Amino acid sequence: MKIRVLDGDESKEVDIYSEEGLSLVARLWERVSFHNRLVYEPTWLGIPIIQLSSDIVMMQELLWKVRPDVVIETGVAHGGSLMLSASILELLGNGKVIGVDIDIRKPNEAAIRKHPLSKRIELIQGSSTSEDTVRVVQNGVKKSDKVLVILDSNHSYGHVLKELEIYSRFVSRGSYMVVMDGIQEMLTSNPTGKKEWKDDNPMRAIRDFLRGRSGWEVDRTYNRLKTTYCPDGFLKKL
Dihedral class, residue 197 (left if φ above 0, else alpha if ψ from -120 to 50, else beta): alpha
Check if the beta carbon of residue 160 is closer than 8 Å to that of residue 152. Answer: no
CA–CA gap between residue 185 and residue 204 (Å, rounded): 8
Q: Are residues 119 and 143 in the same domain?
A: yes
**CB atoms inside a 10 Å sphere around CB 147:** 23
Q: Are residues 1 and 83 in the same domain?
A: no
Q: Are residues 5 and 94 in the same domain?
A: no
- Write the CATH number for 60: 3.40.50.150
- Per-residue pLDDT at 147: 98
Number of independent structural domains in the chain = 2
Q: Are residues 222 and 131 in the same domain?
A: yes
**pLDDT tens track for 165-210:** 999 999 999 999 999 999 999 999 999 999 999 999 999 999 999 9
Q: Are residues 67 and 2 in the same domain?
A: no
Q: Are residues 147 and 204 in the same domain?
A: yes
Q: Are residues 11 and 92 in the same domain?
A: no
- Per-residue pLDDT at 5: 79
**pLDDT tens track for 81-122:** 999 999 999 999 999 999 999 999 999 999 999 999 999 999
Q: Are residues 14 and 119 in the same domain?
A: no
User: In the chain, at which residue ranges do the beta strands (DSSP E only) sit?
Assistant: 2-7, 10-15, 43-44, 47-48, 70-74, 96-101, 121-125, 147-151, 176-179, 216-218, 234-237
1 is in which domain, residue-wise? Answer: 1-36
Check if the beta carbon of residue 230 is closer than 8 Å to that of residue 182. Answer: yes
- Per-residue pLDDT at 3: 84
Q: Are residues 202 and 133 in the same domain?
A: yes
- Per-residue pLDDT at 2: 87
Q: Are strands 147-151 and 96-101 parallel, antiparallel or unpaired?
A: unpaired
**pLDDT tens track for 4-29:** 877 767 788 889 999 999 998 999 99
**pLDDT tens track for 149-164:** 999 999 999 999 999 9
Q: Are residues 30 and 61 in the same domain?
A: no
Q: Are residues 132 and 230 in the same domain?
A: yes
